[in-house]
Structures are given as structure tokens and as C-alpha cells.
Chains A and B, each alone.
Chain A
Amino acid sequence: MAAGFKTVEPLEYYRRFLKENCRPDGRELGEFRTTTVNIGSISTADGSALVKLGNTTVICGVKAEFAAPSTDAPDKGYVVPNVDLPPLCSSRFRSGPPGEEAQVASQFIADVIENSQIIQKEDLCISPGKLVWVLYCDLICLDYDGNILDACTFALLAALKNVQLPEVTINEETALAEVNLKKKSYLNIRTHPVATSFAVFDDTLLIVDPTGEEEHLATGTLTIVMDEEGKLCCLHKPGMFPPLQS
């Protein structure tokens, strides 16, 4: 009976729960889903982390490679994030070039890295003007159940903390880089940005950590990224949708 009502009038069904200040999965309005983190599971990557926020699962793998720095920033390395939402995670995504959602998420992660100064790009420099590290951060969603941005930010932070870079010296005579795989050091992570997403209902109610269904029914979403000092790195409010009735 309830399943029938849910199919026909999903918003009304949801509103009944909201009136009692709870949600269909039993959470309070301000409660997060169970979060699990698994660090260092991918041995072929330089750093990796798997994050589960309820059902939403995102895995992040970081690979470090050499690159030549750009001429206007000869002592800065690169951090290149890429979010991939494959058809595996949800039926709404098709295979092919990255869709809009994946591109927006990639841009969001790039903004978080840039704004929060999570890594000082100068730390990635090996030899100014000649050789720098580039960290390719690949975030792949394995299961899409809402709140992808929080999960991606968390996975990225955990993976970057797990990254170990080998020591590199430039040989004076041959001008070639010599990598010492036995001597590895962790990255210097300066801040720890944490993302929190909210879904707005009927312009008045704010619920934390929306699931996929809640995101679909909401009138808008809002993501705030803060660091430990309470400074805001990013306020991502991609617009409000008008209520379904009007």
C-alpha cells in the first residue's frame, strides 16, 4: 500500500516523513549515513582510498608522474583530478564521453583543491624549470546513491594522505632523474577540507546528506566545503528548481 503511494506521489510520500522530522531510511534531518573508509587498497597506485557514504561508493586512485612545469610557474607541480561516473554506478549514465554531471563534479574537485590549498604546489617541484610531479587523481563512482560531491572530496583527501612519493635526485652529469624507490615520503597536506551537502525542500527544510531519491525530489541542493579553521573554501549552490506543483 505504501509502495503504491510512493510510486504515484513520491513527493507527498516524502513530505509525510518530513512532517515527523525524519526520513524514510530512519535518519534524522541532520544525520549522515554510515561512513566507511578503506585506505591503500590499490597497490598499483601511489595512493588510494575507498569511501562509502551509505550506499554511495567512490574510489580514488592517485598516480604520480613526471612532467615539465609551465614557463609561467616553473616551480609548481600539478594536481589533476578527474571524476568518472560510469554506467556501472547508476542507470542514468550512459557509456561514452563524460556527461555533464561528471564534468561538473570534476570541476568542483579541481576548485576545492585550488581554493583550499590542500597541497602547496611548490612541494611537488623536483627541479625548478625542469621537472615537477603531476598527481593524477582519478575518482570513480562505483555506486551512485546521492551526495557524490561529499564522497569525492573525502576520497580525494584520504587518498592524498596515503600517497607516498619516492625521492628523486637529478644526476648532475647525465641530467637524468634518479628515482630511489626505497626512500618514500608522505605528502605535506596543509588543510583538511570537508564537504557537506544539503538538499532544500519546499524552500524551508534543509536535510543533510541526501540520498539519490531525495536529491531528485528536492527543490535545490547546496554544498559547503570548510577547512579546519572554519574558513569556507567553496559554496556551491547550483540554483534552485521551482517546486514541482507550479
Chain B
Amino acid sequence: MEEETHTDAKIRAENGTGSSPRGPGCSLRHFACEQNLLSRPDGSASFLQGDTSVLAGVYGPAEVKVSKEIFNKATLEVILRPKIGLPGVAEKSRERLIRNTCEAVVLGTLHPRTSITVVLQVVSDAGSLLACCLNAACMALVDAGVPMRALFCGVACALDSDGTLVLDPTSKQEKEARAVLTFALDSVERKLLMSSTKGLYSDTELQQCLAAAQAASQHVFRFYRESLQRRYSKS
């Protein structure tokens, strides 16, 4: 059963403090999410952010190798496949980031000695790739019915040379930016679950980016809720 949800999520999130020399509005790109599109995995989702698209599949809770089993909780594994070429060290690093974010929210203790595998395939990369991967992983985990204590979302922001903040940057904006920061936030208290940054920035800029990301995450979570409501109301 395929449910396609296109919710136009073009939002203007104002950065409140009038003293900073930032632009007046920050907007996220158009979102789209499709769930249950693959037949083999227990859960799957495809998440689109502008032109960036990631396909995620979740298998689990399933059988685990004895060498990898943990006696009191589920073993979480994340596999990230780039669009071209073989996975390298950068993919391993991203897999670790996504895996730790998922481990913080998934209730692994309900399924001890099992494995939950999240497989992510990059379909197209037009900026904010890690954030899109996080969103796709979350939607796929929900589709698979894996018990979680909260949902999580990924938000990326770029800082250019004069300090202007741009949320959900395109690949052109990322290249020209002085720093690109990606955050994973949880849905209950907007707590910071994971952060990965590139480039040089000051700590006040970090606080401002984090605040902007937390404001933007509200819209992402609202999009999750609407897309899930639309999916389950028809059945």
C-alpha cells in the first residue's frame, strides 16, 4: 500500500534577535515523504528535501549473529551507500553518527538479542545530505513499527562569510559557505542528539544555528505528523 504525501513545507522561520546582521527569513526546501514503498524490508521510506533524496529500509527486530548480540538490548546497525562508488571512510563516520542517534531513541531493551538494521541509499545529493539521511531513517523506523521513545529529525544550516545563516542549504550554498552544521534533534524536548560540523565558526554563531535548527525542527515534526495522519486515516 503506497501513500505518497507531498506537503509543501516552505516555512519562514524568523530569527528573533534584531541585533544580529542576519537575513530576515530562513526557509526550508520543499519536503516529500513516501512510506512502505519496498516489499522486502520491514519498513521503508523515501525522503525528499528539495532535490536531495534518500531511500531508507529497516529490517528488524531480526536474528543477530552471536558475535554481535547484546544480552539486554537490540543491536542497531546502519549501512549507508553513496550514490556512486564504494562506501569509504566518510560513509563509516556518517553511519556511526546516524547509528548513535537511532540508538538514543530506539527502545532497544524491548527486543534483546535481536538486530535492527537500517540501510540508507543516497539517490541524489543536492545539499543537506546527512539531515536527509536522518529524516529518512526516522520515517523508515516508524514504518517498520520499531518502538521508539521519540522521533528525531535532521536539520542542516550553513554560515557564509558574512555570518548569514541559511537553513537546509543546497550543494552550491554548502560549497560557498564558511561552515556547515548538521544537528539531530528529538521531538519531545528538541534536545540535541547529534551534531556534526564542517568549517570554522564562533560559539555565538553555534548557539544561533542551534536555535534556528530547533525552530525549524518544529516544522519537520509537523510534516511527519501530517504525513503519518494522512497515511493511517485512509486505511
- A residues whose Cβ falls under 8 Å from a Cβ of B: 100, 103-104, 106-108, 110-111, 114-117, 220, 227, 230-242, 246
Contact = CB atoms under 8 A, between A and B. Distances in A.
Nearest to B201: A232
User: Main SS of chain A's interface residues?
Assistant: mixed
Contact of B101 (A108, A227, A232, A239): A239
Contacts of A231: 200-202
Contact of B104 (A104, A117, A242): A242
A239 B200 contact: no
B197 interface: yes
A239 B100 contact: yes
B195 interface: yes
Given A239-B99, A241-B104, A104 B93 contact: yes
Q: Looking at B108, B194, B198, B199, which has the most chain A CB atoms within 10 Å of its CB?
A: B199
A116 B195 contact: no
Given A103-B92, A103-B93, A106-B89, A241 B103 contact: yes
A242 B104 CA distance: 5
Contact of A239 (B181, B184, B201): B184
Nearest to A108: B93
Given A117-B200, A237-B196, 12 more contacts: A103-B93, A116-B200, A230-B202, A232-B200, A235-B206, A238-B194, A239-B97, A239-B100, A239-B193, A241-B100, A241-B103, A241-B104
Given A238-B194, A239-B99, A239-B101, A233 B184 contact: no
Given A104-B93, A231-B202, A238 B100 contact: yes
User: Main SS of chain B's interface residues?
Assistant: helix
A242 B203 CA distance: 27
B197 A240 contact: no
Given A235-B206, A241-B104, A100 B96 contact: yes
A114 B200 CA distance: 10
B109 A246 contact: yes
B194 A239 contact: yes
| Range class of the B interface residue count | 20 to 34
A232 B193 contact: no
B192 A237 contact: yes
Closest 5 CB pairs of A and B: A239-B100, A107-B93, A103-B92, A237-B195, A239-B194
Nearest to A111: B198
Nearest to B194: A239
Contacts of B92: 100, 103-104, 107
A85 B167 CA distance: 37
A115 B184 CA distance: 21
B86 interface: no
A10 B118 CA distance: 31
B81 to A, nearest CB: 16
Contacts of A242: 103-105, 108, 149
B66 interface: no
A194 B93 CA distance: 21
Interface string B176-219: 00000100100000001111111111110010000000000000
Q: Looking at A103, A104, A235, A246, which has the most chain B CB atoms within 10 Å of its CB?
A: A235
